[in-house]
Amino acid sequence: MPVSSVSAKPRSTRRVWAAPIPAVAAALSAGLIALIIAGLLTGLDQAGEISDPGALTRWGLPLARYIHHLAMATAVAAALLAAVAIPWHAGPRARQRRKDPRNHQQEHPLFARTCQIAAAVSVVWTLAAIAVLVLSFSSLAGMPLTADEAFSSGFFDYATSIATGQAWLAVVIIAAVFSTLATAVRHPTGLGFTAALGLCAIVPMAMVGHSASGDDHTAAVNSLGLHLLGVVIWVGGLAVLALLAPQIRQTAEDLTAREQGGPEILGTLLRRYSVLAGLALVTVAFSGVINAELRIAEISQLWTTSYGTMLSVKFLATCVLAGIGWMHRAWIIPRLAGSTLGAGAKADDAGVGTSYSTTRLLWQLVLVEVAIMSAVIAVSAVLGRTPPPVPEELPPDATPARILTGYDLPPEPGLAEYFTQWRFDWLWTAVVVFLAVWYLRAMVRARQRGVRWPVMRAVSWLTGLAVLLWVTSGGPAIYGVVLFSGHMIQHMTLTMVAPIFLVMGSPVTLAMRALPSRTDGTRGAREWILWLVHSRWSKIVTHPIVASVNFAGSIILFYFTPIFGWALEYHLGHIFMTVHFLLTGYIFALVLIGRDPLPSRPPHFLRVIILLATMVFHAFFAVALMSMDTLIQADWFGNMGHGWFPAIDDQHTGGELMWGLGEVPAVVLGVIACIQWATDDKREMKRIDREADRTGDAELEDYNRMLETLADRR
């Protein structure tokens, strides 16, 4: 059915109220009022004392940031919701029609509208990113916007040589590519990757954000990145829902919508967004508190400084938004639950799922939320140019370690220090907490469905997460940027120890048993996991040869190329290093001892051969490190200035640790692989015995007759 034919059908008598587009526009523009007020309070109307870029730049930069943040959140959230929450096809048999060559004529109207929103708003995002790039140079250089050669040459150097300019140039490129893909892609898979690309813009923004240049750079960047992630999902998702309101009303009121899931589409969409918004709310609040703690030295600065006042406004607004979100989840969503009535639902709502009064209140609350959120984003745009109370410059007596790593030297390392020294990496802390809570909830849901899940698998998974938290926030993380031996402990624990426990937890199998299947044409978490498991990319990376070469070969590539220095010097490089070592170790352990589904699994004897070859390689590489007289990354480890022992001796110690921390887990992997081999052989023998009992050894008899026939022919 073409999309245009949906609106031609007769309407039902059940009325549904929706927020009109002018009301949505008014709610979004509430941020302009907040921007003007915050700008006046922070002196945007006053010219600079030394150099002034002009009123156009002073007011234009926060305005461009406000439009950029709002447009980015809306565009990325639209692509994300289209990929995971909105039906792709119209009709109850969408799954059977996915291979129909006329699929482009069967798009669900909400899906088509969401794609249009993503494409249109992404253009605004791109233009706003260009404006921020140009105006940020004007503000930094103190030069008004002009077309003369001095401004142009300075802007070119800013965009290509200065970190802030490079970051915003990267955002411009990401936004432009996102806009192109959002216009061309009309498939959930492609939109999922498009949304992931859009989220990548958070990285350069976090690197040069208003708190990233301060003390405790790692915590500042990671907390700001988490904050932006939560804002994009929370604010952007709500803006998309508000813009979809007329289309949702049209779908819900149409008689044919009963076949398309129309009467329940609003409640279903709200439930799915509510889950994402809940996670985003926790992320925003958690990361905001961490970021404020880094920028505020005393509690009184929350009301005695402009920076603290705006932080307080953001906190109060977040509390109000959390209260409205609770109203949605506890009262409104149950009334829009479709065939399943929730607490407080009216009896006459059964089987219909929508009512005029309920939807009217819903959209009124949504408009209030959008207005508050846009105001908060406007305040954040002004906050980005307001100096915090805590100084952002390094002290004049900073040590070499402080200059290189951003932190003072820890105590001289011993065994105890590796377990008592902690500096939380909030990015990995959030990952660990999320995965732990998800696993426990999934295990409870599986047991509620009557599926018994071994407790030892949960213990293994939680142990692996504890090891991951220790290696990213404990002693290995602290000494890993100061000593080569500390780095080697971090590396080998990430790639050899933590993955064993995580793989034995079988998270994919648990997800398949706990997550519900969707039948409305959308692709939820379960469907995305199944797609990933059976994808061509999965077949390649989980091939035993590829997994082993990637696991072993990446060590040489990492340590004997500039990649190691990049990982030490730059925050993004360190995150890349951690993710790479963890993933390569996880895939390698999954191929050898994992019970989760794979496109193909090598036979047991091949697994043992791969493991032995890897052990030999680790041994040779460790011996090579212990024999080297040249210091790896001498500019870094040689200039740390700790005075504890010679850097070359520490490198030799790192080689010894690599040998020990590599071989011991490898032996454990070998023992587990052999136990699984014996168990699978025993299980296969029992299966053969049962088959023989059932068929009366028919297979053996056939084999004997074949031998007798061959003997007679001779």
Summarised one tens digit per residue, pLDDT across range 96-118 is: 444 444 444 577 788 888 999 99
For residues 171 and 214, membership in a common domain is answered with yes
For residues 530 and 659, membership in a common domain is answered with yes
Q: What is the DSSP letter of 107?
A: B
Query: Is residue 703 in some structural domain?
Result: no
- Whole-angstrom distance, CA of residue 528 vs CA of residue 506: 17
Amino acid at 479: Y
Query: Is residue 518 in some structural domain?
Result: yes
Residue among 619, 657, 631 at smallest CA distance from 476: 657
Residues 6+ apart with CB under 8 A from 541: 547, 550, 587
For residues 434 and 355, membership in a common domain is answered with no
Instruction: For the chain, give the longest Cα–Cα distance.
Output: 109
H or E segment at 594?
A: none
Q: How many domains does the chain have?
A: 2
**CA distances (Å), 569 to each of 109, 160, 572, in order?**
49, 19, 9
pLDDT digits (tens, 9 = 90+) for 60-82: 888 899 899 999 999 999 999 99
Check residues 211 and 224 and name the one with the higher pLDDT.
224
pLDDT band at 244 (very low <50, low <70, confident <90, very high): confident
| Contact (CB, 8 A) for 417 and 411 | yes
For residues 245 and 173, membership in a common domain is answered with yes
The phi, psi pair for 11, rounded to 5°, reads -90, 155
- Whole-angstrom distance, CA of residue 547 vs CA of residue 584: 7
| Residue 46 pLDDT exceeds 60 | yes
pLDDT digits (tens, 9 = 90+) for 562-620: 899 898 888 888 899 999 999 999 999 998 888 888 887 888 788 888 888 888 888 88
The confidence score (pLDDT) of residue 477 equals 92
What value does the mean pLDDT take over residues 346-360?
51
Query: Is residue 44 in some structural domain?
Result: yes
Query: Is residue 12 in some structural domain?
Result: no
For residues 592 and 636, membership in a common domain is answered with yes
Percentage, residues of the chain above pLDDT 70: 81
Q: What is the DSSP letter of 714?
A: -
The confidence score (pLDDT) of residue 473 equals 92
pTM score of the predicted model: 0.82
Residues 6+ apart with CB under 8 A from 383: 38, 210, 307, 310, 311, 314
pLDDT digits (tens, 9 = 90+) for 3-42: 333 334 444 444 555 566 777 778 878 888 888 888 787 7
Query: Is residue 711 in some structural domain?
Result: no
Category of 353 on φ-ψ map: left (φ > 0), alpha (ψ -120 to 50) or beta: left
For residues 183 and 254, membership in a common domain is answered with yes
H or E segment at 212?
A: none
Neighbours of 407 (CB within 10 A): 17
For residues 336 and 444, membership in a common domain is answered with no
What value does the mean pLDDT take over residues 193-219?
79
Residue among 125, 86, 123, 90 at smallest CA distance from 105: 90
For residues 628 and 682, membership in a common domain is answered with yes
For residues 53 and 183, membership in a common domain is answered with yes
pLDDT digits (tens, 9 = 90+) for 652-675: 998 888 888 877 888 888 888 888
Query: Is residue 394 in some structural domain?
Result: no
What value does the mean pLDDT take over residues 449-469?
93
For residues 206 and 69, membership in a common domain is answered with yes
Q: Which of 268-277, 432-441, 635-644 has the highest mean pLDDT?
A: 432-441
- Whole-angstrom distance, CA of residue 625 vs CA of residue 656: 8
Could you list the residue range(s) of the whole structural domain that residue 273 is in? 18-92+105-383
For residues 354 and 477, membership in a common domain is answered with no
Neighbours of 361 (CB within 10 A): 16
What value does the mean pLDDT take over residues 535-549?
87
H or E segment at 516?
A: none
Amino acid at 208: V
| Residue 389 pLDDT exceeds 70 | no
Query: Is residue 234 in some structural domain?
Result: yes
Residue among 90, 80, 91, 94 at smallest CA distance from 112: 90
For residues 151 and 215, membership in a common domain is answered with yes
Query: Is residue 193 in some structural domain?
Result: yes
